[in-house]
Amino acid sequence: MSDVSPDTPKVKEFYDLPIELIGEIVEKSELRQQLILRKVCKQLRDVVDEQKISPYKTIDISCEDTEILCRYNYQDVVYALRIPRDHNGKVVHGDDYIGVACNDLNVALGNPKLVLSHFRFFYRSYEESVPSLEFQTLVSFLESLSHKVSVRSVDIDAPEIDATIRILSCLNPKILKTIETHRFKMSSSWSLTGSIEEKLDELAEMEQWKQAEELCSPHPFSLFKPEHYASFKRINFKEFAYDSGALEKYKSIFLAPSSKTILISIERRDEFEVDEFVELPGTPAAQIEPNSVVRHFDIPNSKGYLEYHFLIGMREMTITKKSR
pLDDT digits (tens, 9 = 90+) for 198-210: 888 899 999 999 9
Helices (H) and strands (E) in the chain — how many of each? 9, 16
Residue 276 burial class via C-beta count within 10 angstroms: exposed 0-12, middle 13-18, buried 19 and up: middle
Confidence tier at 7 by pLDDT (50, 70, 90)? low
CA distances from 289 to 253, 285, 293 (A): 26, 12, 9
Identify the pLDDT of residue 187.
Answer: 46
Domain for residue 251, yes or no?
Answer: no
Residue 97: pLDDT over 60: yes
Domain boundary among 5, 35, 53: 53
Segment 232-257 mean pLDDT: 87
Say whether both 99 and 132 belong to one domain: yes
Mean pLDDT estimate for the chain:
83
Please tell me which residue, 103 or 5, carries the higher pLDDT value: 103
Residue 94: pLDDT over 80: yes
Please tell me which residue, 280 or 173, carries the higher pLDDT value: 173
Say whether both 106 and 208 belong to one domain: yes
Confidence tier at 133 by pLDDT (50, 70, 90)? confident
Confidence tier at 16 by pLDDT (50, 70, 90)? low
Please tell me which residue, 183 or 57, carries the higher pLDDT value: 57
Confidence tier at 113 by pLDDT (50, 70, 90)? confident
Domain for residue 201, yes or no?
Answer: yes
Say whether both 60 and 183 belong to one domain: yes
291's CB contacts (< 8 A; 6+ apart) are 311, 312, 313
Domain for residue 295, yes or no?
Answer: no
Say whether both 40 and 166 belong to one domain: no
Domain for residue 73, yes or no?
Answer: yes
Domain for residue 245, yes or no?
Answer: no
Q: What is the dihedral of CA 130, 85, 142, 75, to 10 degrees?
A: -150
Please tell me which residue, 198 or 319, carries the higher pLDDT value: 319
Domain of 125 in residue numbering reads as 56-212
Cα-flanking dihedrals φ and ψ of residue 145, to 5°?
A: -60, 150
Confidence tier at 27 by pLDDT (50, 70, 90)? low
Confidence tier at 247 by pLDDT (50, 70, 90)? confident
Say whether both 94 and 205 belong to one domain: yes
Domain for residue 152, yes or no?
Answer: yes
Say which amino acid occupies 300. Answer: P
Domain for residue 121, yes or no?
Answer: yes
State the distance between the two ends of the chain, measured CA to CA, in whole angstroms. Answer: 97
Say whether both 181 and 63 belong to one domain: yes
Report the largest interatomic distance among the alpha carbons of the chain, rounded to a whole angstrom: 102
- For 287-316, what is each residue's pLDDT tens digit? 888 888 999 999 998 899 999 998 887 888
CA distances from 74 to 71, 100, 314 (A): 5, 19, 33
Number of domains in the chain: 2
Domain boundary among 212, 236, 259: 212
This prediction's pTM? 0.81
Say whether both 24 and 127 belong to one domain: no
Say whether both 155 and 49 belong to one domain: no
Identify the pLDDT of residue 190.
Answer: 37
SS3 category, 202: helix
SS3 category, 138: helix
Say whether both 124 and 34 belong to one domain: no
Sign of CA dihedral 266, 270, 276, 278: negative
Distance CA 288, CA 122 (A): 39
Say whether both 101 and 202 belong to one domain: yes
The rounded percent of the chain whose pLDDT value lies above 90 is: 40
Say whether both 71 and 182 belong to one domain: yes
Segment 48-67 mean pLDDT: 79
Domain boundary among 153, 184, 212: 212
Say whether both 83 and 205 belong to one domain: yes
Domain for residue 219, yes or no?
Answer: no
b/e sequence 86-122, b meaning 16+ C-beta within 10 Å = eeeeeebbeeebbebbbebbebbbbbeebebeebbbe
Whether 102 contacts 137, CB under 8 Å: yes
Distance CA 219, CA 200 (A): 14
Confidence tier at 192 by pLDDT (50, 70, 90)? very low
Please tell me which residue, 24 or 204, carries the higher pLDDT value: 204
Alpha helix ranges (H) inside the chain: 19-28, 31-38, 42-49, 97-109, 133-144, 161-168, 196-204, 207-211, 244-255
Segment 245-265 mean pLDDT: 92
Residue 73: pLDDT over 60: yes
